[in-house]
Amino acid sequence: MSDQAVSEVDTQPAAAEPARPRRTPASLVRKAAWLALLVVLLALPLYIDTAWLKAGQYMMIGAVGAIGLTLVVGQAGQLSLAHAFFLLAGGTAYTVLSGPTGDERVIGFGLDPALSLLGAVAVAALLGLAFAPVAGRLRGIYLGVASLALVFLGLYFGQSAEELTGGTSTGRTPASFSLFGFPFAGGGPEITVLGVPIQQAERMWYLFLLLTVLAFVIARGAVRGRVGRSWRAVRDNEAAAAVMGVSVLRAKAGAFAVSSAYGGLAGAMTVLWFDILKPDESEFGTYGINVSIAYLAMVIIGGLGSVPGALVGALIVNGLPQVLALYSADLGWFTGTGDGALTPILVSSFVYGAAIILVVLFEPGGLAAIGRRLTRARRQPPEES
């Protein structure tokens, strides 16, 4: 080879190397904001009391469930009203897998609580995958009605399978969670940070925060990756997605299974928060239609398909009743009883019901769209006079 040919080869650009994404100032600011929020959440147990910690834990339960629902509804375009069923499935699976063996009344396998938590997620995902053939052939309101049938199936299951759920009268207590031998329900080594003892409420806060952060990071990775692109392609146009090589049935099944897994994790967190698994006596309860509607409200208010929006929606829908309950006890608000009385839950239902109407009428993209609009407005340079 001549020297001229060698020089030409050496001077050719390396086209095989992928271009690295440039870090813009806006992306750095977003990362700094997320890091600052995480630091604040890590420090909160040192400054607020147990009641507020319990309220925050309930918001994080809603956040995990809402993240899963926004993936299947917003990203994959599948209307699901079955989230309450997967909460019950996850809570039951965790309680049964971690329950003690040898109990004559209920079934227990005595597994490690951490393994039981993973098992609860897997059981819920498998149940969602079993529903995938139905989800793959229906869409829109028809899929919503079909998925709603799972809630009634869960109601029957909870009432009849007393050897698993403990029945509606007494329920059953889940095993206390521990990780690598460290108990989160109290006991164990005494830990003090800045003079504040880290007891059960603080430990459960950090456990729920860890699960929420993991759920958030995994969901963001899925949305930004190839899986998320296939979900959005199926949502926008199934025929075009099939032409591009996307397996429509596989994408729908995967979205439903992932959403169900998130619901199962939220269900396991729910029984840990209540410290009891107690199935509902009617279709309105901890695992009833009202819960499925509440989760759908979270993703609509936050913005369909937006993972950060799901966090904000959970903060409003699950957080508002907790905040009103804490303030009403001190200020004497909404303390009535009986039919027609204004309670924190009823007032919260009015508030997020009105929020859904406002979002549908004026901002279908939810709070996430408002946030994106404000961000773009800050990026635009001022017009020259």
Q: Provide the residue range defining the domain that includes 111.
A: 50-178+196-284
Residue 275 lies in a domain: yes
Q: Which of 156, 134, 130, 162 is nearest to 146 (CA)?
A: 134
How many Å apart are CA 73 and CA 85, to the nearest integer? 16
Extract the tokens encoding 162. Answer: 């007393």
Whether 259 is covered by a domain: the verdict is: yes
Q: Is the residue at 334 inside a domain?
A: no
pLDDT of 384 strictly over 70: no
Render pLDDT for 218-248 as a digit per residue (tens, 0 to 9): 999 999 999 999 999 999 999 999 999 999 8
User: Cα–Cα–Cα angle for 346, 209, 95, nearest 5°?
Assistant: 75
The pLDDT score that the predictor gives to residue 8 is 47
pTM for the whole structure = 0.88
- Mean pLDDT, the chain, integer: 86
Closest C-alpha among 279, 54, 271 to residue 174: 271
pLDDT digit string (tens) for 334-350?
A: 655 656 667 777 777 78
Q: What percent of the chain clears pLDDT 70, i.e. is strictly above it?
A: 87
- Cβ pair 267, 95 in contact under 8 A: no
Look at the block and give the residue holding tokens 């909404």.
Answer: 334
pLDDT tier for residue 310 given thresholds of 50, 70 and 90: very high
Task: Please state the rounded mean pLDDT for residues 10-21.
Answer: 46
Report how many domains make up the chain: 1
Does pLDDT of 330 surpass 70? no
DSSP sequence for 235-281: HH-HHHHHHTT--HHHHHHHHHHHHHHHHHHHHHHHHHHHTSB---S
- Residues 158-167 have a mean pLDDT of 93
pLDDT computed for residue 15 by the predictor: 43
Q: Is the pLDDT of residue 371 over 80?
A: no
Q: Tell me, yes or no, whether 84 lies in a domain.
A: yes
For 63, left (φ over 0), alpha (ψ -120 to 50), or beta?
A: alpha
Task: Enter the tokens of residue 160.
Answer: 């009849």
| 21-33 per-position pLDDT tens digit | 556 666 788 889 8
Q: Which two tokens stand for residue 82?
A: 């079955």
Whether 244 is in a domain gets the answer: yes
7 pLDDT band, cuts 50/70/90, is: very low
pLDDT of residue 207: 95
